Amino acid sequence: MGSSCVWYVMVTAALSFTVSQLEKSSVTLHRLAWSFLWSVFWLIQISVCISRVFIATHFPHQVILGVIGGMLVAEAFEHTPGIHMASLNMYLKTNIFLFLFALGFYLLLRLLDIDLLWSVPIAKKWCANPDWIHMDSTPFAGLVRNLGVLFGLGFAINSKMFLVSCRGENGCRPSFRLLCAVTSLATLQLYHFIKIPTHTEPLFYLLSFCKSASIPLTVVALIPYGVHMLMRAREKKIK
Protein backbone atom coordinates (compact mmCIF):
# COMPACT_ATOMS: atom_id res chain seq x y z
CA MET A 1 0.00 0.00 0.00
CA GLY A 2 2.78 2.40 0.91
CA SER A 3 4.75 1.60 -2.23
CA SER A 4 1.78 2.09 -4.56
CA CYS A 5 0.79 5.34 -2.84
CA VAL A 6 4.26 6.87 -3.04
CA TRP A 7 4.97 5.78 -6.60
CA TYR A 8 1.49 6.84 -7.76
CA VAL A 9 2.14 10.34 -6.44
CA MET A 10 5.56 10.47 -8.09
CA VAL A 11 4.29 9.25 -11.47
CA THR A 12 1.30 11.60 -11.59
CA ALA A 13 3.48 14.52 -10.47
CA ALA A 14 6.05 13.75 -13.17
CA LEU A 15 3.33 13.53 -15.82
CA SER A 16 1.85 16.84 -14.69
CA PHE A 17 5.28 18.43 -14.97
CA THR A 18 5.83 17.07 -18.49
CA VAL A 19 2.43 18.35 -19.59
CA SER A 20 3.26 21.85 -18.37
CA GLN A 21 6.69 21.81 -20.04
CA LEU A 22 5.90 20.19 -23.38
CA GLU A 23 4.27 22.05 -26.22
CA LYS A 24 1.15 20.87 -28.03
CA SER A 25 3.32 19.59 -30.88
CA SER A 26 5.02 17.18 -28.48
CA VAL A 27 2.03 14.88 -28.05
CA THR A 28 4.08 11.85 -29.12
CA LEU A 29 6.77 12.61 -26.55
CA HIS A 30 4.14 12.95 -23.84
CA ARG A 31 2.61 9.60 -24.80
CA LEU A 32 6.02 7.97 -24.63
CA ALA A 33 6.63 9.48 -21.19
CA TRP A 34 3.16 8.36 -20.07
CA SER A 35 3.74 4.79 -21.27
CA PHE A 36 7.23 4.59 -19.78
CA LEU A 37 6.32 5.95 -16.34
CA TRP A 38 3.20 3.81 -15.92
CA SER A 39 5.09 0.74 -17.13
CA VAL A 40 7.75 1.38 -14.49
CA PHE A 41 5.01 1.91 -11.88
CA TRP A 42 3.32 -1.42 -12.57
CA LEU A 43 6.64 -3.24 -12.88
CA ILE A 44 7.61 -2.04 -9.40
CA GLN A 45 4.20 -2.90 -7.92
CA ILE A 46 4.20 -6.40 -9.40
CA SER A 47 7.74 -6.98 -8.13
CA VAL A 48 6.83 -5.79 -4.64
CA CYS A 49 3.66 -7.92 -4.57
CA ILE A 50 5.50 -11.05 -5.70
CA SER A 51 8.28 -10.52 -3.16
CA ARG A 52 5.80 -10.01 -0.30
CA VAL A 53 3.92 -13.18 -1.21
CA PHE A 54 7.15 -15.13 -1.76
CA ILE A 55 8.48 -14.39 1.74
CA ALA A 56 5.00 -15.11 3.20
CA THR A 57 4.58 -11.59 4.54
CA HIS A 58 1.12 -11.24 2.98
CA PHE A 59 -1.45 -13.29 1.13
CA PRO A 60 -2.17 -12.55 -2.56
CA HIS A 61 -5.47 -10.81 -1.88
CA GLN A 62 -3.78 -8.53 0.66
CA VAL A 63 -1.11 -7.25 -1.72
CA ILE A 64 -3.65 -6.68 -4.50
CA LEU A 65 -5.97 -4.72 -2.22
CA GLY A 66 -2.92 -2.88 -0.86
CA VAL A 67 -1.97 -1.61 -4.31
CA ILE A 68 -5.54 -0.46 -5.00
CA GLY A 69 -5.83 1.10 -1.54
CA GLY A 70 -2.57 3.01 -1.95
CA MET A 71 -3.73 4.53 -5.23
CA LEU A 72 -7.06 5.54 -3.67
CA VAL A 73 -5.28 7.17 -0.73
CA ALA A 74 -3.05 9.14 -3.11
CA GLU A 75 -6.10 10.35 -5.05
CA ALA A 76 -7.88 11.29 -1.82
CA PHE A 77 -4.93 13.41 -0.67
CA GLU A 78 -4.75 15.15 -4.05
CA HIS A 79 -8.44 16.08 -4.15
CA THR A 80 -8.75 16.93 -0.45
CA PRO A 81 -6.74 20.11 0.15
CA GLY A 82 -8.16 20.34 3.67
CA ILE A 83 -5.78 17.56 4.70
CA HIS A 84 -2.85 19.96 4.35
CA MET A 85 -4.67 22.77 6.18
CA ALA A 86 -6.42 20.85 8.97
CA SER A 87 -5.65 21.75 12.57
CA LEU A 88 -3.91 19.45 15.03
CA ASN A 89 -7.19 19.11 16.90
CA MET A 90 -8.85 17.77 13.74
CA TYR A 91 -6.04 15.24 13.26
CA LEU A 92 -6.41 14.08 16.87
CA LYS A 93 -10.17 13.68 16.49
CA THR A 94 -9.69 11.75 13.26
CA ASN A 95 -7.13 9.50 14.94
CA ILE A 96 -9.45 8.75 17.85
CA PHE A 97 -12.40 8.13 15.53
CA LEU A 98 -10.44 5.70 13.34
CA PHE A 99 -9.13 3.82 16.37
CA LEU A 100 -12.53 3.52 18.04
CA PHE A 101 -14.19 2.56 14.74
CA ALA A 102 -11.61 -0.16 14.06
CA LEU A 103 -11.85 -1.45 17.64
CA GLY A 104 -15.65 -1.43 17.58
CA PHE A 105 -15.74 -3.18 14.21
CA TYR A 106 -13.33 -5.83 15.50
CA LEU A 107 -15.45 -6.45 18.62
CA LEU A 108 -18.59 -6.65 16.47
CA LEU A 109 -16.96 -9.28 14.27
CA ARG A 110 -15.93 -11.21 17.37
CA LEU A 111 -19.55 -11.21 18.55
CA LEU A 112 -20.53 -12.59 15.15
CA ASP A 113 -17.85 -15.27 15.58
CA ILE A 114 -15.74 -13.83 12.76
CA ASP A 115 -12.02 -13.70 13.46
CA LEU A 116 -10.33 -10.72 11.81
CA LEU A 117 -6.97 -12.39 12.40
CA TRP A 118 -7.95 -15.53 10.52
CA SER A 119 -4.91 -15.31 8.26
CA VAL A 120 -2.39 -15.51 11.14
CA PRO A 121 -3.13 -19.14 12.21
CA ILE A 122 -3.15 -20.23 8.56
CA ALA A 123 0.22 -18.56 7.98
CA LYS A 124 1.69 -20.23 11.09
CA LYS A 125 0.30 -23.59 9.96
CA TRP A 126 1.77 -23.55 6.47
CA CYS A 127 4.94 -21.57 7.03
CA ALA A 128 8.11 -23.67 7.21
CA ASN A 129 9.13 -21.83 10.38
CA PRO A 130 6.34 -20.23 12.48
CA ASP A 131 8.90 -17.84 13.95
CA TRP A 132 9.03 -16.13 10.57
CA ILE A 133 5.49 -14.83 11.09
CA HIS A 134 6.20 -11.31 12.31
CA MET A 135 3.86 -9.36 14.53
CA ASP A 136 4.22 -6.27 12.35
CA SER A 137 2.30 -8.02 9.55
CA THR A 138 -0.93 -8.32 11.57
CA PRO A 139 -3.90 -6.01 10.86
CA PHE A 140 -3.56 -4.26 14.22
CA ALA A 141 0.09 -3.48 13.55
CA GLY A 142 -0.91 -1.86 10.27
CA LEU A 143 -3.61 0.14 12.04
CA VAL A 144 -1.17 1.37 14.68
CA ARG A 145 1.36 2.40 12.03
CA ASN A 146 -1.24 4.33 10.04
CA LEU A 147 -2.53 6.09 13.16
CA GLY A 148 1.02 7.01 14.09
CA VAL A 149 1.75 8.45 10.65
CA LEU A 150 -1.50 10.45 10.72
CA PHE A 151 -0.72 11.83 14.17
CA GLY A 152 2.86 12.70 13.23
CA LEU A 153 1.74 14.41 10.02
CA GLY A 154 -0.85 16.49 11.86
CA PHE A 155 1.67 17.50 14.50
CA ALA A 156 4.29 18.33 11.87
CA ILE A 157 2.23 20.55 9.53
CA ASN A 158 0.89 22.51 12.50
CA SER A 159 4.31 23.03 14.07
CA LYS A 160 6.16 26.32 13.98
CA MET A 161 9.14 24.61 12.35
CA PHE A 162 7.05 23.65 9.31
CA LEU A 163 5.45 27.08 9.02
CA VAL A 164 8.81 28.87 9.21
CA SER A 165 10.67 26.59 6.80
CA CYS A 166 8.27 25.15 4.20
CA ARG A 167 5.83 28.05 4.06
CA GLY A 168 8.46 30.73 4.38
CA GLU A 169 10.68 32.33 1.77
CA ASN A 170 12.80 29.19 1.31
CA GLY A 171 9.83 26.93 0.67
CA CYS A 172 9.77 27.56 -3.10
CA ARG A 173 13.50 27.42 -3.71
CA PRO A 174 14.69 24.38 -5.71
CA SER A 175 17.91 24.19 -3.66
CA PHE A 176 15.91 24.01 -0.42
CA ARG A 177 13.65 21.27 -1.75
CA LEU A 178 16.57 19.27 -3.12
CA LEU A 179 18.46 19.41 0.17
CA CYS A 180 15.34 18.39 2.08
CA ALA A 181 14.71 15.47 -0.27
CA VAL A 182 18.28 14.16 -0.10
CA THR A 183 18.47 14.53 3.68
CA SER A 184 15.07 12.89 4.13
CA LEU A 185 16.04 9.89 2.01
CA ALA A 186 19.25 9.43 3.98
CA THR A 187 17.42 9.78 7.30
CA LEU A 188 14.70 7.32 6.34
CA GLN A 189 17.35 4.68 5.71
CA LEU A 190 18.41 5.01 9.36
CA TYR A 191 14.90 4.09 10.52
CA HIS A 192 15.42 0.60 9.12
CA PHE A 193 18.04 0.01 11.81
CA ILE A 194 15.51 0.68 14.59
CA LYS A 195 14.26 -2.72 15.72
CA ILE A 196 11.12 -2.85 17.85
CA PRO A 197 10.96 -5.64 20.49
CA THR A 198 8.17 -8.14 19.90
CA HIS A 199 8.19 -10.07 23.20
CA THR A 200 5.42 -7.87 24.65
CA GLU A 201 2.47 -7.10 22.38
CA PRO A 202 1.26 -3.82 24.02
CA LEU A 203 4.83 -2.47 24.09
CA PHE A 204 5.28 -3.44 20.44
CA TYR A 205 2.16 -1.52 19.39
CA LEU A 206 3.14 1.51 21.48
CA LEU A 207 6.66 1.67 20.04
CA SER A 208 5.32 1.10 16.52
CA PHE A 209 3.02 4.08 16.97
CA CYS A 210 5.88 6.27 18.22
CA LYS A 211 8.20 5.19 15.41
CA SER A 212 5.54 5.80 12.76
CA ALA A 213 4.70 9.20 14.23
CA SER A 214 8.34 10.27 14.30
CA ILE A 215 8.87 9.62 10.57
CA PRO A 216 6.54 12.33 9.15
CA LEU A 217 7.52 14.63 12.00
CA THR A 218 11.17 14.28 11.00
CA VAL A 219 10.63 14.55 7.24
CA VAL A 220 7.99 17.31 7.26
CA ALA A 221 9.16 19.49 10.15
CA LEU A 222 12.58 18.73 11.64
CA ILE A 223 14.61 18.28 8.45
CA PRO A 224 13.12 21.28 6.56
CA TYR A 225 13.66 23.45 9.63
CA GLY A 226 17.27 22.30 9.95
CA VAL A 227 17.93 22.96 6.26
CA HIS A 228 16.23 26.35 6.58
CA MET A 229 18.44 27.33 9.50
CA LEU A 230 21.60 26.24 7.65
CA MET A 231 20.67 28.21 4.55
CA ARG A 232 19.79 31.21 6.67
CA ALA A 233 23.14 31.08 8.49
CA ARG A 234 24.96 30.80 5.16
CA GLU A 235 23.12 33.81 3.75
CA LYS A 236 24.07 35.86 6.80
CA LYS A 237 27.74 34.97 6.33
CA ILE A 238 27.61 35.99 2.67
CA LYS A 239 26.07 39.34 3.58
Domain boundaries, the chain: 1-80, 86-239
Q: Are 215 and 152 in contact (CB under 8 A)?
A: yes
For residue 164, pLDDT beyond 60: yes
Q: Quick one: average pLDDT of 58-62?
A: 78
Cα–Cα–Cα angle for 179, 185, 191, nearest 5°? 135
pLDDT at 20: 64
* pLDDT tens digits along 87-111: 889 899 999 999 999 889 888 988 9
For residue 54, pLDDT beyond 90: no
Q: Which of 32, 52, 56, 34 is nearest to 44 (CA)?
A: 52
Cα–chain center distance at 204: 19
* pLDDT tens digits along 209-222: 999 999 999 999 99
Say which DSSP state 130 is in. G
SS (H, E, C) 44-72: HHHHHHHHHHHCCCCCHHHHHHHHHHHHH
Integer Cα distance of 206 and 202 in angstroms: 6
pLDDT at 43: 93
| Long-range contact set of residues 224-228: C-beta below 8 Å, sequence gap at least 24 | 224/161, 224/162, 224/165, 224/166, 224/176, 224/180, 225/161, 225/162, 225/164, 225/165, 226/183, 227/165, 227/170, 227/176, 227/179, 227/180, 227/183, 228/164, 228/165, 228/168, 228/170, 228/176
Q: Are 63 and 18 in contact (CB under 8 A)?
A: no
